Structure 1
């Protein structure tokens, strides 16, 4: 299921969300320009768990926990992450503010990277992608907007119907899939690439708890979600 929107009113222009999307797209094209040097480039800027755990030998490898957030493994990887960031990031940024959102995003990505490193301590494959940070955004979205409605495209062979589902269901189901994938991958002794499930899990769990520190003090004011004219929901607004 591919998210394309939600029914949360946009409160202000999501500068940071769009800037992050722009940076991710820019650095993806930087990757494409590497040509035969791409592998060395990814090892230089991606997160290699075994190297990070041995950071005392090369302290600069700790920086890769942040730089790896802006690299992707292909067009599908990039587009999928940016769709999620666009839908969920805009709503979260509009609620907690742009500055808070940027710091929250980076901390969630750091948590996701650390989780991946700890769960794959012997891996020498560079992990890349914004998934850990975006997973944190999903966790925060679940806390902030559990009764929101998310609009998704469901690819069915030649048909692409759009469905509207409760955010609580969509995000809980998404996290369950990551948890199953993470536990399944942990049952094998392989040291290689693939989906960084534990980065997703670590980022999501971090988002669930970190959002309590970033949520601004606001009074509760009822308003109607866009697209759900018969449902009122209590949301935090500046008062």
Structure 2
């Protein structure tokens, strides 16, 4: 009977990690929509929703600790718990980055450098996150490799977007603007570069999750390093 309860706890942890990922992905979608639509109400919803993500993280952290302390798991079970603990940490940080998108929405009241397609970057990061959580759900090691490979494409997109912003700033005739206009432009540029950086970081967290999933399934740290 005790062994059955232990297996149920492991299955429950697995399902709850997937549930947390669904909550985080929804926050990311809302953050991207808020940014695209300049929707302040949606931005506030994203920011306020961070409490739910943090609470889920703390609950699952405690579940992992209880399983480690009370059940003394070995081999594959131990890897599953350890990987899940690392994965919820990445998910919590993605939730924080989604909050940043909400905050950037509140700070921005107009489009700046519209040729930079933030939504394209957001779509790639969201696709990577969905793929890596599917890999965790299905113990799919091939999908882990695919997520890791796709990170190079995201990095290239982010690098090109950042370079475009900087190039346009350099080409702007600042002397024709007032000091107030220049300050506003610099704030806009800084916010856009931070948005690009945050989306790139979400991709990095997706790769971290893929690496931990691969380790969980194969007992191989190849993707971690």
TM-score calculated relative to the size of structure 2? 0.35
Task: Give the number of the structure whose alpha-carbon radius of gyration is greater.
Answer: 2
Select the structure that is richer in helix. 2
Select the structure that is richer in strand. 1
TM-score calculated relative to the size of structure 1? 0.34
